[in-house]
Structure 1
């Protein structure tokens, strides 16, 4: 029997102008040093990671354009990283939450469901990177323009074809309290734990974290929303 497509919070995406800037931001803002990540040959990006406590198989990703990586040729970089306006904001104001990724057991079925309700998260593509525990493999929805929809409130979709990266991550002391999104009809198709549809939310996407620095709120903004 085929299980119905489910959705869970897989990871939060924080973009940085450089990975070094992202590490410094993480230490100053969250009070911890992010764990090693890796390079994404498909997209010419690289990352650092932090496991999120209080959520099953969830983490925070700090991602930046890899200066030694090749730019993709079939589509723009994921999470809007090729957008000049975003890169200017990252240089001028530092790293920021830009998107989130929903884990699913059937990426094609969940994509069909979202498209039927008026929003296309993109075409699933295969990606991989090396890690200290071996090669990670996954499929992720990527839009050709690379731009998150609904200001980042509509997630990219991911289906892991290998072990999940959190299985090799140490505990971080960073707890995800809630991921809040500004409601849109299509988001009613997602039922992830700790995802809250908040009518009053002044921004498209907001994550509330408990950290060694106390309560920290990360927010995406409306600037550049398609």
Structure 2
């Protein structure tokens, strides 16, 4: 990956209709995302594609079998597919949260999460994420996989992430929060906040935003 934060864990591509969104991503990238699992506490389900190295693309939407609206990433009100935010990994979530707060940015309270993979394996991890996402999703949330197997190591279909960049009406405010969590993101001024990922797959080069 070039021009990409080395601690990138995954990109979050939110879709209002999960199966339709997965089909659209497959057509765009030229590979079929594979089922990740369900998040019962959030009413969501995801599909995954590897981005090279220990990074992946998460296509996430409302779980078709859930009995309540989704509670994460603004999916309950999402009307069109969108790159909603991104995550960076940390080996010590509590320290990373403390450091970020000391630098003026609150990434949220650390909390445990889990999902069961299609083969029945239970994955457990911790993350610090606020709702709604800070700076319109341009500031990443923090994730700590602990001893759990990382999704990127599970033989995912692969594409290549070439670049991750963003636009915002007030880029300096975003840069301050990015510095607080110790990450880099190429950022320029524009009228609307937008996260853009340039990806190369069998279907050629495409941009998700």
TM range (shorter): 0.7 to 0.9
Question: Would you say how many aligned residue pairs link Structure 1 and Structure 2?
Answer: 195
Q: Which of 63, 66, 72 is the aligned partner of 2:63?
A: 66
Task: Let me know the Cα RMSD of the aligned residues.
Answer: 2.2
Aligned residue number for residue 20 of structure 2 = 21
CA distance in 1, matches of 2:108, 2:156: 32
Determine if the alignment matches structure 1 residue 112 to structure 2 residue 109: no
Given that 2:111 and 2:126 are in contact with CA atoms closer than 8 Å, whether structure 1 keeps it comes out as: yes
How much does 1:67 deviate? 3.2
How much does 1:169 deviate? 2.3
Question: Which consecutive residues of structure 2, in runs of 5 or more, have no partner in the other structure?
Answer: 1-5
CA distance in 2, matches of 1:206, 1:66: 25
Q: Which of 164, 185, 190 is the aligned partner of 2:150?
A: 164
Determine if the alignment matches structure 1 residue 218 to structure 2 residue 187: no
Determine if the alignment matches structure 1 residue 186 to structure 2 residue 185: no
CA distance in 2, matches of 1:201, 1:216: 21
Change (3 A) 1:121 1:81: farther
Q: Tell me the alpha carbon deviations over residues 47-105 of structure 1, each in whole angstroms, 9 at most, x when there is no partner.
A: 1000112xx31100000111322548xxx8222223x2xx2x32xxxx22111011111
Aligned residue number for residue 138 of structure 1 = 125
TM-score with structure 2 setting the length: 0.83
Given that 1:41 and 1:70 are in contact with CA atoms closer than 8 Å, whether structure 2 keeps it comes out as: no
Q: Tell me the alpha carbon deviations over residues 179-217 of structure 1, each in whole angstroms, 9 at most, x when there is no partner.
A: 11344212124455xx53223566442111112221111
Aligned residue number for residue 80 of structure 1 = 74
CA distance in 1, matches of 2:92, 2:68: 28
TM-score with structure 1 setting the length: 0.78
Given that 1:13 and 1:100 are in contact with CA atoms closer than 8 Å, whether structure 2 keeps it comes out as: yes
Question: Which consecutive residues of structure 1, in runs of 5 or more, have no partner in the other structure?
Answer: 1-6, 220-226
Structure 1 segments (4+ residues) deviating >4 Å = none
How much does 1:110 deviate? 1.5
